[in-house]
Structure 1
Amino acid sequence: MTTTPQAPLLSAQGLHVAFPARHGGAPARAVDGVDLDIRPGEVVALVGESGCGKTTLARSLLGLVAPTEGRVTFDGEPLRYSSRALKAYRRRVQLVLQDPSGSLNPRHTVYDAVAEGLRIHRGAGDERAAVAQALSRAGLRPPERFFLRYPHELSGGQRQRVVIAGALVLEPELLVADEPVASLDASVRGEILALLLRLRTELGLAALVVTHDLGLAWNIADRVAVMYLGRIVETGDAEKVLTAPQHPYTQALLSVLPEAPGDPVVLSGEPPDPSRIPTGCRFRARCQILASGEAERAGVAHRCRTEDLEVLGGGGEAQVACHWARALDPAL
């Protein structure tokens, strides 16, 4: 008996976000055609170098940046951009930022920081009990011990837990975590990642984790989407993508991890300017496969230089936007 795939909780369809250039130049295509689904209870890692568009994509999924083309749907309904609609949406989808020091007002106690969302959304019920429950779920126990403390009295890991508690207090269905452990000591990172996984197990929370760290993606994600120059270039089950990457960009990112076999692949130059996306494959100017002649031997070098690749589908199947990888494996 076949099971019907679960309908996505959050979905981006044909999403584009462009920012106008100064002095009348070409607009910067920060997100240049993205389909992405996140199912209930699923953790998706969005990975890539700085400047690849992943934070802009996350902000667009949150309704903080309106797309110039395409749409975002949540629970089957298109996202609307009126103040009232966005306020209702943000009860259900919460953002966790990478820098807890910047996320917390130094003049507010932990209690006030966590209660802020309830007050904005006029949450009904017992505020004190809701704050205590959120702090406890975030691993700050007994919660009452933290009520009257200020951010400067906490460790970095405790501050990040307060930020997570501030998101949890509204009982959302999805967290968008932007580099959630980037500013933390290595000794604390594992604790926060374990917390996020426990929240998924206990509360059924879905999460989009934005990161440049493939090691983090390996530890936390069910599925990985690799982004380069405004598009997802490889996606699929986390274990499959991270143990057998098909796209040369993914291979290069993984090659620099300490446990990776072989020599690291050093990519030349920086990602191209998003206002001047090259013809053909957008990775071709830095591609080690094209530079080494392997693409020529596979008979796809001309296509790499001239033929754009279509937007990958947003579902969970393994996909790659690479002429060379598809020549080696036509099933991709």
Structure 2
Amino acid sequence: MTTPAPLLSARALRVTYPGRHGGPPVRAVDGVDLDVRPGEIVALVGESGCGKTTLARALLGLVRPAAGGVGFAGRPLTYTSRALKAYRGRAQLVLQDPSGSLNPRHTVYDAVAEGLRIHRRGGDERAAVAGALARAGLRPPERFFLRHPHELSGGQRQRVVIAGALALEPELLVADEPVASLDASVRGEILALLLRLRDELGLAALVVTHDLGLAWNIADRVAVMYLGRIVETGPVEQVLTAPRHPYTRALLSVLPEAPGDPVVLSGEPPDPSRIPGGCRFRPRCPVLASGEAERAGVADACHGQDPGVLDGSGEAQVACHWARAAASA
């Protein structure tokens, strides 16, 4: 059985911002390869500030990369207004805060129809809006047409945002912390909706989150990001039940159901304007600090050798000298 070609791909992607007060540039995304295949849900996880949202925005063409490129459906993304408009009809963004995504003066109907009007989609607008609301779980859709955001619950507002994306019949959703602002009772409903949309419509999704529990419940594959780069990736069950990178292990250790004591990372939070040489996780790595890396004979490599960029193939991979040495032992 052949693996389908990627729907979305990034190759050697880099995004930089000017440094503060003339300081060194901020390397927000510092060399990323990532693929999302048709019908696949990929979770992009990591601490706040690791570059997840910047990577998502670059993949959607909202941020122009300093180097590398983005491809969609086998073609490179170009940055003309016409090309970006066409691309955003096929790849839609769902933001974290539905209250901030919706204009409080617009009705639900206008919010969902906005994308259709911008992209000048023909056909029956009312039927398209009703169909999108129904697919997003707001039924009967006509009941919601004239409501305003303040008249809806948080979960209903998020469904309206998702309906606005679905109205354009995209092939890909990029969801940035899609349930972070919702009550626990509603989170499961929205996650179940995303899974149902994948199953019924064949939608692919990149879900950006700091919540490894969410990744476990929704994703086929997970990519763990640290300081602008993906440091571990693979099938979600494999990465989250047998993590190989010390950073992934630390993230998992703080989950309520995790065995043992939480791993507290030492050192300062990472600064994307001052990425250390060698392994970028080196200053906070408990394996290096405990002497395990020295005993494995890889401490010098940790200090002086970059583990490199993981490819976007989806195979289980880790950017860690110690984990690679352990696997080959």
- Seen in structure 2, the aligned counterparts of structure 1 residues 208 and 270 have a Cα distance that, compared at 3 Å, is farther
Aligned to 1:291: 289
Aligned to 1:80: 78
Structure 2 residue identity aligned to 1:95: L
Q: CA deviation at 1:5?
A: 1.3
Q: CA deviation at 1:20?
A: 1.4
Give yes or no for the alignment of 1:159 onto 2:157: yes
Looking at structure 2, the residues matched to 272 and 318 of structure 1 have their Cα atoms a distance apart, in angstroms, of 25
Counting aligned pairs with the same residue, the percent is 84
Aligned to 2:260: 262
One of 54, 63, 66 as aligned partner of 1:65: 63
Q: CA deviation at 1:309?
A: 1.2
Structure 1 residue identity aligned to 2:204: A
Aligned to 2:173: 175
**Which digits, 9 at most, give the CA deviation of each residue in 1:160-198, with x for residues without a partner?**
000000000000000000000000000000000000000
* TM-score, normalising length: structure 1: 0.98
What are the within-5 Å matches in structure 2 for residues 310-329 of structure 1?
310-329=308-327
Structure 1 residue identity aligned to 2:59: L
Aligned to 2:198: 200
Give yes or no for the alignment of 1:243 onto 2:241: yes
Aligned to 2:38: 40
Instruction: Give the match's secondary structure for 1:64.
Output: coil
Instruction: Give the match's secondary structure for 2:328.
Output: coil
Aligned to 2:211: 213
Structure 1 segments of 4+ aligned residues over 6 angstroms from their partners: none
Looking at structure 2, the residues matched to 325 and 264 of structure 1 have their Cα atoms a distance apart, in angstroms, of 20
Q: CA deviation at 1:284?
A: 0.8
What are the within-5 Å matches in structure 2 for residues 137-148 of structure 1?
137-148=135-146
Aligned to 1:133: 131
Looking at structure 1, the residues matched to 176 and 251 of structure 2 have their Cα atoms a distance apart, in angstroms, of 19
Q: CA deviation at 1:22?
A: 3.3
Structure 2 residue identity aligned to 1:245: P
Structure 2 residue identity aligned to 1:156: G
RMSD: 0.8
Looking at structure 2, the residues matched to 310 and 231 of structure 1 have their Cα atoms a distance apart, in angstroms, of 9
Q: CA deviation at 1:272?
A: 2.0
Looking at structure 2, the residues matched to 282 and 182 of structure 1 have their Cα atoms a distance apart, in angstroms, of 28
* TM-score, normalising length: structure 2: 0.99
Aligned residues: 329
**Which digits, 9 at most, give the CA deviation of each residue in 1:206-246, with x for residues without a partner?**
00000000000000000000000000000000000000000
Q: CA deviation at 1:316?
A: 1.1
Q: CA deviation at 1:23?
A: 3.2
One of 28, 48, 54 as aligned partner of 1:56: 54
Looking at structure 1, the residues matched to 326 and 38 of structure 2 have their Cα atoms a distance apart, in angstroms, of 34
Looking at structure 2, the residues matched to 195 and 330 of structure 1 have their Cα atoms a distance apart, in angstroms, of 41
Structure 2 residue identity aligned to 1:284: R
Contact 1:52–1:271 under 8 Å retained in 2: no
Looking at structure 2, the residues matched to 44 and 330 of structure 1 have their Cα atoms a distance apart, in angstroms, of 27
